[in-house]
Amino acid sequence: MLIVLIGYRGTGKTTVARLLAEQLSLDWIDADVEIERRAGKSIAEMFADEGESAFRDLETEVIALLASRKNLVVATGGGAVMREQNREALAAADEIVWLKADAETISQRVSVDATSTARRPNLTATGGIDEIRELLALREPIYRQSATCQVDTVGKSPTEVVDEIAASLGDPK
C-alpha cells in the first residue's frame, strides 16, 4: 500500500502521515525532509542559492523514487502536484488524499509554526494570506484532479483526520 498526502502547507500532511502510518503499520516519509537531506540545506536555502527550479527538479527526483515504494505514507510538499511529471508518478499510489483547509486556517496554522516559516520561503512577492489565497486558487483544481480522497482538516484534530482517512480506505491489509 502506498498512500500519498497532498495539499497546501499547513494542512497537516506531516503530522497526519506519521499518525496514519502508525495506525496502518506502514513506514512514512516527508518528501520535503528527504529533499532537504539530499540537498544538505533547507528549502529556503535552496531557493536562495539555486532558485525554485532547482528545488522543483530535486523534488521531482524524490517524488519518482517515493512513488515507486510500497508500505509507505508520503507527505508531499504543497506544490509537488503542480508538475505533470510528479502527478504521473504519484498516480501509482493506492490512495492520494487531499488534506484541505481554507486560507484563513492555513495562515493561522503557518504563523504559529516557526519550523515551517524558517525552512520554507514565500512563493510570491505578496507573502502572507494573500499568497495563500493566490496559490490555493491555482492549486486547488490540481489537488482536486489528483486526489482519490478529500478530507477537510478545519476544526479537526490530526487523529480525527487520520480516522477519516482510515475509514475511507476500508481494510488495506
Residue with cell 486560507: 103
Q: What is the pLDDT of residue 119?
A: 54
List, for the chain, all residue ranges whose pLDDT scores fall below the cut of 50. Answer: 122-125, 172-173
- Write out the three cell numbers for 46: 535552496
> What CA–CA distance (Å, rounded) separates 124 from 145?
24
Q: What is the pLDDT of residues 22-56, one digit of tens each?
A: 999 999 999 999 999 999 999 989 989 999 899 99
Helices (H), 42-102: 43-49, 52-67, 84-90
Q: What is the pLDDT of residue 100?
A: 97
Q: What is the pLDDT of residue 126?
A: 58
Q: What is the pLDDT of residue 94?
A: 95
All structural domains of the chain: 2-165 (3.40.50.300)
Region of residue 128 (left: phi > 0; alpha: psi -120 to 50; beta: else): left
Positive or negative, the CA dihedral 28, 33, 35, 38 is negative
Q: What is the pLDDT of residue 120?
A: 52
Q: What is the pLDDT of residue 116?
A: 55
Q: What is the pLDDT of residue 173?
A: 43
The β-bridge partners of 6 are 98
- pTM for this structure? 0.90
H or E element in which residue 143 lies = helix 128-146
Q: What is the pLDDT of residue 112?
A: 74
> What CA–CA distance (Å, rounded) separates 173 from 169?
10
Cβ(23)–Cβ(166) under 8 Å?
yes
